[in-house]
Amino acid sequence: MAFDLSVYPWVYMAKYEHDTWSDSYIEKPHKTPQEEAALSPDERQTLLRTRNSFPELPLVNYTTQYGMGCFEGLKAFPHKDGSMHLFRPDENAARFKKSMEGLMMPAFPEDMFVHGVAETVRRNNSLGFRPVYDPAWEKTHFIDGHAVYVRPFSYSEPAIGLGLSKEPWVVAVSTPVGSYFRPGNTKAVTTDKVRAYPGGTGWIKCDANYVVPILAKKTAEKKGFMEAIFLDAAEHTYIEEGSSCNIFFYLKNGTLVTPDLADTILPGITRKSVLTLAQDLGISTEERKISIDEALSDGREVFVTGTAAGISHFESITHKGTTVPFGNGNMGEVTTALCRKLKGIQYGAEEDIHQWMVRV
């Protein structure tokens, strides 16, 4: 199970009007989780459609017509003691605020973001809508672990014509999530498509940024690959990102390299966390430009990071018809150590020395 659009009953909604934000929690139609599991497929889909219906939101607006909106993605993880914990929601709150500012709309306060997300997870948790910690996940270092995925997003007031949102909504829904990438295929390929241009919106987690990555990823999948890798727009020489994730290369000289943040690269929260964890493990890190030629010739391991992807390795990269393998097709030693550390912290099996986890 990757993403499963089974919107949980409690939804958070905020609105900007008269120079101020107000918010509320909406309880959508539901039964108990056990009763819902017993429904026929048609009955369950009918119920889920009512939870994914928001008549109060206008159909025609800047978001639906021009992609003028932004969103976040974060997870709440079950722990062995039955509690639920969000991973670094303050970082998502800060990035969401910057994204809204980048789209010239009223910025959503960070404290409202964190509280709104946490309370939504807590309310759904109290109804039993949450994954249950499974000790079997420990055997795979939580690669198979389940979590709650929370999707906060902005939504424009009614509008048509080119303009800016002055009175947006912020909505947060949650849904179950498992492993993002399909098992059995960890091959990547470079794409000629361009994700972002200098001076554009590549640094904003905005809706429109994901159109080209979706097309590139689906094209790659049709060719038998798991993921597409983007190169820079100007020279098509330097690596930037995967279709929905930041990328890392562990080089033969023992250095972990990831492209430095510029206005074409999304400042990933998992990316930031991995850099910290690598330093904790005594691994040298660099944030800089890395060419596809350097990566293929000097790379020992390669992996991508993201809220959905977690830490996912690539067994090979194909560029201009040439395929270069990494780690004999398996997850490398450094990638494995970082993955175990990150997942262990998220699921409560490792000490959270940086205090990243927030109990709800």
Summarize pLDDT for 255-314 with one digit per residue, the tens: 999 999 989 999 999 999 999 999 999 999 999 999 999 999 999 999 999 998 899 999
358 - beta bridge partners?
86
Largest CA distance in the chain: 60
Is the pLDDT reported for residue 165 higher than 70? yes
Residue 359, amino acid: R
Q: Do the strands 284-287 and 255-258 form a parallel or antiparallel pair, or are they unpaired?
A: parallel
Is the per-residue pLDDT at 180 higher than 80? Answer: no
Query: Is 70 exceeded by the pLDDT of residue 182?
Result: no
Q: Say yes or no to pLDDT of 183 above 80.
A: no
Instruction: Write the DSSP assignment of 195-261 as a string of letters.
Output: S--TTSSTTS-BGGGGHHHHHHHHHHHHTT-SEEEEEPTTTS-BEEEESSSEEEEEETTSEEEEPPP
Q: Which fold has domain 187-346?
A: D-amino Acid Aminotransferase; Chain A, domain 2 (3.20.10)
Q: What mean pLDDT value characterizes the chain?
A: 95
Instruction: Supply the DSSP symbol for 107.
Output: P
Contacts of 282 (CB under 8 A, 6+ apart): none
The residues pairing with 229 across neighbouring beta strands, listed in sequence order, are: 190, 242
pLDDT, residue 2, reads 65
Q: Which amino acid is at 338?
A: L
User: Which token pair is 187?
Assistant: 């091959």
Q: pLDDT tens, 28-86?
A: 999 999 999 999 999 999 999 999 999 999 999 999 999 999 999 999 999 999 999 99
Q: What percent of the chain has pLDDT over 70?
A: 98
Predicted local confidence at residue 181, as pLDDT: 58
Q: Taking the domains of the chain in order of start, what are their residue ranges?
A: 10-177, 187-346
State percent of the chain over pLDDT 90: 92
Q: How far apart are CA 198 and CA 234, in angstroms?
A: 9
Give yes or no for residue 184 having a pLDDT over 80.
no
pTM: 0.95
Q: pLDDT category, 140, cuts 50, 70, 90?
A: confident
Instruction: Compute CA distances 325 → 139, 181, 221, 299, 332, whole Å.
Output: 27, 19, 18, 10, 12
The beta-strand segments (E) located in the chain are 10-17, 20-27, 74-78, 84-87, 147-155, 169-177, 187-191, 227-231, 239-242, 246-251, 255-258, 284-287, 299-306, 310-313, 316-319, 322-325, 357-359
CATH of region 10-177, choose from 3.50.50.60, 3.40.190.10, 3.30.470.10, 1.25.40.20? 3.30.470.10
